[in-house]
Amino acid sequence: MRIPLDRQSAIPLYQQIKTYLRQGILSGSLAADTRLPASRQLAQDLGVNRITVENAYAELEAEGLIFSRLGSGTYVLPPDPLLPLPKNDPGTPWPLWQQSIVDKTLRSGLLDERRKSSRHPQPISFASGIADANLFPAEDFRKVLQTVMRRDGIAALGYGERNGYAPLRASITHILASQGLQTRPENILITSGSQQALSLVSQLLLKPGDIILVESPTHSGALDLFRALGFKVIGIPVDGQGMQVDALEKLLQQHHPKLIYTIPNFHNPTGTCLNGPRRRHLLVLADRYNVPILEDDFVGDLRYEGRTQPALKALDPGGRVIHVSTFSKMLMPGLRVGFLVAEGPVYDCLVNFKRVNDLATSTLVQRALEAYVTVGRYQAHLRRSCQIFRRRRDAMLSAIRCHLPAGVRFDPPQGGLFIWLQLPEKLDSEKLLPLAREEGVDFAPGNGFFPDGTGGRNWLRLNFVAQAPDQIDEGIKKLGKAVKRLLASHK
Amino acid sequence: MRIPLDRQSAIPLYQQIKTYLRQGILSGSLAADTRLPASRQLAQDLGVNRITVENAYAELEAEGLIFSRLGSGTYVLPPDPLLPLPKNDPGTPWPLWQQSIVDKTLRSGLLDERRKSSRHPQPISFASGIADANLFPAEDFRKVLQTVMRRDGIAALGYGERNGYAPLRASITHILASQGLQTRPENILITSGSQQALSLVSQLLLKPGDIILVESPTHSGALDLFRALGFKVIGIPVDGQGMQVDALEKLLQQHHPKLIYTIPNFHNPTGTCLNGPRRRHLLVLADRYNVPILEDDFVGDLRYEGRTQPALKALDPGGRVIHVSTFSKMLMPGLRVGFLVAEGPVYDCLVNFKRVNDLATSTLVQRALEAYVTVGRYQAHLRRSCQIFRRRRDAMLSAIRCHLPAGVRFDPPQGGLFIWLQLPEKLDSEKLLPLAREEGVDFAPGNGFFPDGTGGRNWLRLNFVAQAPDQIDEGIKKLGKAVKRLLASHK
């Protein structure tokens, strides 16, 4: 035990020991039943006389904070509720450097505070960015984990290869090929979720103050990241066919961005897909202006109808596009396993940058995922998910038509997770939110998805895969009530 | 399946489909036995006539690349080894932005290349920074994982709280208190290993070009990180009592650093501990010059003898020190769970910054660790580890005295993992390395631990906990042979 002692102090050493232990016990950091070191051991650790420690222990025992069991040791007692608790902050002011820290992610922090203030105990939530947790194959995965731990033992708990567990990279190659993107295991880097992939790529390619182009609106988690890293974020407008690539060239000339971040498939939050000609045009422009493309394909395969579009990466003549995806949305968010596909010098830099950032992603989880996610199983899971999610989307579309006023507008999405809903012009989704929460339903207000923080006032995002159909109907009914209340307040 | 099609192209669509699938099969990305989509499905996905897909499939089948099983589907065949493999790079040059990428971590990359070139098939390695993998309690941990998956089910696979799984943060508080550091669960942030904690703290507090003070020598993984992030790294000299704090004030005045990174306990690579008066002096100076301290306590509790010193964090009057530690070194590196302790505004910023970087560390692993690491179990594991490691240290000290020439110098460490060994002045440990590898032993040359890349030529770091005592003796004997060969070459 490393207790801080001040040998220059006028306070006797035994009392310093006593005060230190006393404070720990009263604050609860030294929990009841914790065994304290034997007095001889602690004396040796601290370089003091054994009597010094024994005196400290004796006083603590007299205060009823610890007790000695003969031949067994000295243990912490549960603190008496009548004893005064030590204060957390003894009045010392924070150092200046702490006082001047600016939290660049504060905006989202406030958002979360506001979210917590929901009055309804169990709202039906359409706010999240992930699928229904109850669809995750937890029991199957438990068995796989067991098999892997039995099979690999110690090896499952080592650091592993720096670009990720090789058999998992091979599996990902096969899954990507079965979805229409051909690559090689040596071009794949396993990351801690797709969020880490976005973080590594953008940090490698930009420095604070550099400009990144994103769709406007776009994924709020990416916006939070880019802002926290100090980048200037410029929006490219989006319509029903995805990013307005016609508007891109002017932005490229004007801003000289270091990166274009795009979600071409089932865009977050709008649910649109970039059409084929725009995909090719985007690649041509990126090449002409020498700007890398970061393609976030978070749910590219969750298509319920209509014609597929190739991933931008599948159109890449070589080294133009960095493709990021994840198993989190469809399988298990808490596993935190995503990946990126890249080639050329940037791939090696990303591998090294990942290593200096956190060494590796848990090898145990990578091994378990590899054992679980065969191509066949992935395809089966995808088919099943598409069936379930299509029904949920249809349930939400019906519910919206049934329960929301006619002034509400939306494009029915052909896949993905989200419906992007436009309220009548005068309604503000930020103002709708507290009313909706009172009714017992939750959504993501549109404003948080805009890079300049000004757009989307009368928009909101609904996740249609997170709830079963009856809950969807119930939730949209509640949303309808909230909208009517807000409309009434405007009259 | 999202196959890229060019509808403007003169190449017929069926042939584009065929070419795309053919390339995937020949390159191996479409693995044997992968089931291709039904022709009707693929036609629908791609928005083409079903005949188009059937024509493509027919030609691929005629080439012997796929086969149809009636009523079951179309499957990929193993590629004929006589067919020509498609090339990875069809001659397209990398875009300019790729050509100009500078890999700031390249130095360590080269080091790894050199490491791979070892000629001995199974060298006895004293080079690593971690403990003996065979001591990891893999079987116990397997059982705990099962229990947790059965107990928590789906909840074990969600995102979890943003600062980490609350019961694990409580456990860490109790473990820290039992070691002499009192804090609260709400001041702990779980990270993906201590490396991520170093990355988050330094990125939050510094921008590229800012100055960070570190011990010289110091942990090479931290140096790689700070360089990759573009910081200017300035070294503070170290002696047998740790950082020479007397030299610090001048450096603070001269360089106005944004952060002091220090390993006060069983320093990496030197194995020294900062003495008590220097700890207090360091805190006073950091406060006077308004500089935060990042304390890396990676093995602070692995003491085999002598008097303990309090963690710098235990001396912190409030918000001055950010304390980083890990379970990786003593338990399981591959789990990637570390933590930091901080308070004040910087704590909230770190929590948010962690979230935008990778959302969360695997909750499954956090839950399993919490179930495994009770205070009692941790203390028992620590006692057992200390016993084993002390014996290994003693074995290495004896072996060095026995097998290495008298000109070799070192301070016997009182704990930790490392012996820092000085060769006779004229010997270069970088030159010793290939000879040692030929003999079948591996170590970390001193040069890689110095911020300016020039010191430590005649030093090397030996990890004494990674091998059993007989292997230690054998390995040091081999090292002795290599040293003698190098000495002979100088005559």
- Residues A306, A179, single domain; the answer is yes
Contacts of B23 in chain A (CB under 8 A): 182
- Residue A108: what pLDDT? 47
* CA pair distance A472, A393, nearest whole angstrom: 9
Mean pLDDT of A464-482: 96
> How does DSSP classify residue A37?
P
What digits encode the pLDDT tens for the residues B147-157?
A: 998 898 878 87
What percentage of chain B exceeds 70 in pLDDT?
93
Query: What is the domain count for chain A?
Result: 3
- Residues B237, B347, single domain; the answer is yes
Element (H, E) at A239: strand A232-239
- Residue B89: what pLDDT? 53
B67 interface with A at CB cutoff 8 Å: no
> In this predicted model, which residue has the larger pLDDT, B368 or B135?
B368
Sign of torsion over alpha carbons A207, A208, A213, A216? positive
**Looking at residue A29, which CATH number applies to its domain?**
1.10.10.10
- Residues A144, A245, single domain; the answer is yes
The token pair that represents B192 in the structure block? 């993906």
pLDDT exceeds 60 at position B107: no
Question: What's at A15, amino acid-wise?
Answer: Q
Angle at A384 between CA A381 and CA A388, to 5 degrees: 135
- Residues A327, A423, single domain; the answer is no
The token pair that represents B413 in the structure block? 């460490």
pLDDT exceeds 60 at position A263: yes
What digits encode the pLDDT tens for the residues A73-109?
A: 888 887 665 555 444 455 678 888 888 887 766 554 4
Q: Are B141 and A157 in contact (CB under 8 A)?
A: yes
* CA pair distance B160, B154, nearest whole angstrom: 11
B109 interface with A at CB cutoff 8 Å: yes
Contacts of A196 in chain B (CB under 8 A): 357-358
Residue B452 — pLDDT band, cuts 50, 70, 90? confident
B160 exposure class (CB count in 10 Å sphere: 0-12, 13-18, 19+): buried
3-state secondary structure of A348: helix
Please check whether residue A89 lies inside any domain of the structure.
no
Closest CA to A101 of B322, B184, B479: B322
- Residues A353, A412, single domain; the answer is no
Angle between helices A345-358 and B193-205 (to 10 degrees): 100
Mean pLDDT of A164-174: 93
* CA pair distance A353, B103, nearest whole angstrom: 9
Final residue of a structural domain among B97, B123, B157: B97
- Closest partner residue to B193 among A199, A335, A358, by Cβ? A358
- Residue B436: what pLDDT? 96
> How does DSSP classify residue A71?
T
- Residue B93: what pLDDT? 82
Q: Does the beta-carbon distance from A336 to B352 stay under 8 Å? A: no
Q: Does the beta-carbon distance from A314 to B3 stay under 8 Å? A: yes
Residue of chain A nearest B137, judged by CA positions? A154
- Residue B113: what pLDDT? 46
- Residue A441: what pLDDT? 96
- Residue B132: what pLDDT? 78
Touching B: A residues 144-163, CB under 8 Å: 145-146, 149-150, 153-154, 156-160
Final residue of a structural domain among B347, B374, B401: B374
Distance from CA of A427 to the nearest CA of B (A): 30
Which stretch of A17-31, A455-469, B234-248, B266-280 has the lowest confidence by average pLDDT? A17-31
- Closest partner residue to B307 among A47, A158, A346, by Cβ? A47
Distance from CA of B485 to the nearest CA of A (A): 34
A415 interface with B at CB cutoff 8 Å: no
What digits encode the pLDDT tens for the residues B416-446?
A: 999 999 999 889 999 999 999 999 999 999 9
Closest CA to A219 of A275, A123, A282, A297: A297
- Residues A320, A420, single domain; the answer is no
Question: What's at A65, amino acid-wise?
Answer: L
Please check whether residue A83 lies inside any domain of the structure.
no
A contact test, residue of B98, B224, B323 with most A CBs within 10 A: B98
Q: What single string gives the DSSP state of each residue in B291-323?
A: --EEEE-TTTT-B-SS-----HHHH-SSSSEEE
Touching B: A residues 166-225, CB under 8 Å: 173-174, 176-184, 191-193, 195-196, 199, 204-205, 207-208, 221, 224-225
List Cβ neighbours of A44 (8 Å cut-off, separation of 6 or more): B307
pLDDT exceeds 50 at position A243: yes
Phi, psi torsion values for B339, nearest 5 degrees: -160, 160
* CA pair distance B88, A349, nearest whole angstrom: 20
- Residues A110, A256, single domain; the answer is no
Please check whether residue A2 lies inside any domain of the structure.
no
Q: Are B446 and B460 in contact (CB under 8 A)?
A: yes
B contact test, residue of A35, A140, A352 with most B CBs within 10 A: A352
Helices (H), A215-262: 220-228, 248-255
Q: Can you list the pairs that B424-429 forms with residues at least 24 positions away whose Cβ atoms lie under 8 Å? A: B424/B458, B424/B487, B425/B458, B426/B458, B426/B490, B427/B458, B427/B483, B427/B486, B427/B487, B427/B490, B428/B457, B428/B458, B429/B456, B429/B457, B429/B458, B429/B459, B429/B460
Q: Are B462 and B419 in contact (CB under 8 A)?
A: yes
Between the alpha carbon of residue B88 and those of residues A186, A293, B9, B23, B27, the distances in Å are 11, 20, 23, 10, 8
Phi, psi torsion values for B228, nearest 5 degrees: -60, -30
Which structural domain range is residue A61 located in?
13-76
Phi, psi torsion values for B490, nearest 5 degrees: -90, -10
Helices (H), A274-374: 276-288, 312-315, 345-358, 363-372
- Residues B24, B47, single domain; the answer is yes
What digits encode the pLDDT tens for the residues B163-177?
A: 999 999 999 999 898
A43 interface with B at CB cutoff 8 Å: no
- Residues B328, B204, single domain; the answer is yes
What digits encode the pLDDT tens for the residues A56-73?
A: 998 888 888 888 887 778
pLDDT exceeds 60 at position B299: yes
Contacts of B348 in chain A (CB under 8 A): 103, 109
pLDDT exceeds 90 at position B286: yes
Residue B325 pairs with which residues in a beta bridge?
Answer: B339
Q: Are A112 and A67 in contact (CB under 8 A)?
A: no
- Residue B109: what pLDDT? 43
Mean pLDDT of B408-420: 95
B375 interface with A at CB cutoff 8 Å: yes
**Looking at residue A160, which CATH number applies to its domain?**
3.40.640.10
Touching B: A residues 226-285, CB under 8 Å: 228, 230, 276, 280
* CA pair distance A427, A421, nearest whole angstrom: 12
Residue A189 pairs with which residues in a beta bridge?
Answer: A340
Q: Does the beta-carbon distance from A360 to B180 stay under 8 Å? A: no
Please check whether residue A85 lies inside any domain of the structure.
no
**Looking at residue A449, which CATH number applies to its domain?**
3.90.1150.10
pLDDT exceeds 50 at position A110: no
**Mean per-residue pLDDT over chain B, rounded:** 88
**Mean per-residue pLDDT over chain A, rounded:** 88
Q: Does the beta-carbon distance from A357 to B225 stay under 8 Å? A: yes
Final residue of a structural domain among A373, A394, A414: A373
Q: Are A431 and A437 in contact (CB under 8 A)?
A: no
> How does DSSP classify residue B419?
E
- Residue B155: what pLDDT? 81
Q: Are A468 and A392 in contact (CB under 8 A)?
A: yes
- Residue B247: what pLDDT? 95
Contacts of B360 in chain A (CB under 8 A): 193, 334, 336
Q: Does the beta-carbon distance from A335 to B364 stay under 8 Å? A: yes
- Residue B82: what pLDDT? 55
Contacts of A139 in chain B (CB under 8 A): 153
Which stretch of A251-260, B51-60, B218-227 has the lowest confidence by average pLDDT? B51-60
What is the complex's ipTM, to 2 decimals?
Answer: 0.84
Q: Strands of A73-76's sheet, edge to edge?
A: A35-36, A73-76, A66-69
Residue of chain A nearest B109, judged by CA positions? A352
What digits encode the pLDDT tens for the residues B46-80?
A: 999 999 999 999 888 888 888 888 777 888 887 66
A contact test, residue of B110, B157, B204, B322 with most A CBs within 10 A: B157
- Residue A90: what pLDDT? 59
What percentage of chain A exceeds 90 in pLDDT?
55
Residue of chain B nearest A109, judged by CA positions? B352
* CA pair distance B405, B485, nearest whole angstrom: 11
B143 interface with A at CB cutoff 8 Å: no
Please check whether residue A8 lies inside any domain of the structure.
no
Please check whether residue A125 lies inside any domain of the structure.
yes
- Residues B114, B215, single domain; the answer is no
Please check whether residue A411 lies inside any domain of the structure.
yes
Contacts of B335 in chain A (CB under 8 A): 157, 362, 364
Please check whether residue A92 lies inside any domain of the structure.
no
Q: Does the beta-carbon distance from B184 to A29 stay under 8 Å? A: yes
The token pair that represents A273 in the structure block? 């897909």
- Residues B154, B245, single domain; the answer is yes
- Residues B120, B161, single domain; the answer is no
